[in-house]
Structure 1
Amino acid sequence: MIKVAMTGVYVDDVAAAHAFYTDVLGFETRLHRDLGGGALFVAVGAPAGAQPDLQLLLEPGQGPIAQAYRGALYDAGIPCIVFSVDDLRAEYARLRALGVRFTHPPQRQGPVLAAVFDDTCGNLVQLIQSRE
């Protein structure tokens, strides 16, 4: 059986992204290694062991391929990643109170309730809640 162990998201600044994903979104730090020369290897994951074997790698997004990819997604309004929540309206209110900027509030999209926010690190992120 093959399972997803880690997936990455390109960010403008790994340290700033780490702060946002942990302090604001509530993820926990899974890996944090200083590689020297200002380079960091940082992975975060869902808190309290909700998904202990799945990590999100915060990858430097300064390379030409990463910049073009992120810019195209952002300009088109396409989220680079989707996170699920149990209560989207409550999470939307919590994040807005923390100053998170949403590009669209919770709305129905087929079988889910969805909202999209700016992660302050060059990406749009979608939150979904199953309606079933």
Structure 2
Amino acid sequence: MKIALTSVFVDDQRAALAFYTDVLGFTKRHDIPLGDNFWLTVKSPESPDGPELLLEPANHPAVKPYRDALVRDGIPLAQFAVDDIEFEHASLTGKGVVFTQPPTDIGTAVVAVFDDTCGNLIQLIEMKPDQNQTN
């Protein structure tokens, strides 16, 4: 069993597509009309065989209170792995991305949290090398 697809709820699918592709660097995979919305997915170019991220319309009545509570409490909806969090933080800040938490060492990793402009907080994580690992 493997993860093939996960989703984030977004306020505006077209604005989300622009942010996730133009700012974050993901690539569009599917853009299929479904009534008033779309089956709209993106993928990481660093993991072309990895899972897709569905930019899910946030119009279900349960979504707004759920996302509002997460944002209010500073809880990210999703997490993306990076190799160099300081580089990504500087690069994204330069593109106007607003971070709610700068890179922060949490022991086994360094994390940062940003606002995806689509109603969500997203966490970046750079795992530290395992100190007990031998080559």
Count, aligned residues? 129
**Taking structure 1 as the reference length, what is the TM-score of the superposition?**
0.93
**Taking structure 2 as the reference length, what is the TM-score of the superposition?**
0.91
Distance 1:26 1:52 in 2: 16
Counterpart selection for 2:78 from 62, 77, 81: 81
| SS, match of residue 126 in structure 2 | strand
2:43–2:53 Cα contact (<8 Å) kept = yes
> 2:42 aligns to what?
44
Distance 2:9 2:112 in 1: 20
- Give the % identical residues: 49
| SS, match of residue 126 in structure 1 | strand
Distance 1:53 1:126 in 2: 18
Deviations 1:35-67 (A, max 9, x none): 243x1110001015x142410000011221111
Distance 2:58 2:98 in 1: 21
Distance 2:48 2:9 in 1: 21
Distance 1:34 1:62 in 2: 16
Distance 1:51 1:131 in 2: 24
Residue 8 in 1 paired to residue 4 in 2? no
Q: What is the root-mean-square deviation of aligned Cα atoms in Å?
A: 1.1
Amino acid of the structure 1 residue aligned with 2:52 = Q
| SS, match of residue 2 in structure 2 | coil
How big is the shift at 1:102?
0.2
Residue 19 in 1 paired to residue 18 in 2? yes
Structure 1: runs of 5 or more not aligned: none
Residue 70 in 1 paired to residue 67 in 2? yes
**Rg comparison, structure with higher value:** 2
> 1:95 aligns to what?
92
Structure 2: runs of 5 or more not aligned: 130-135
Distance 2:68 2:59 in 1: 11
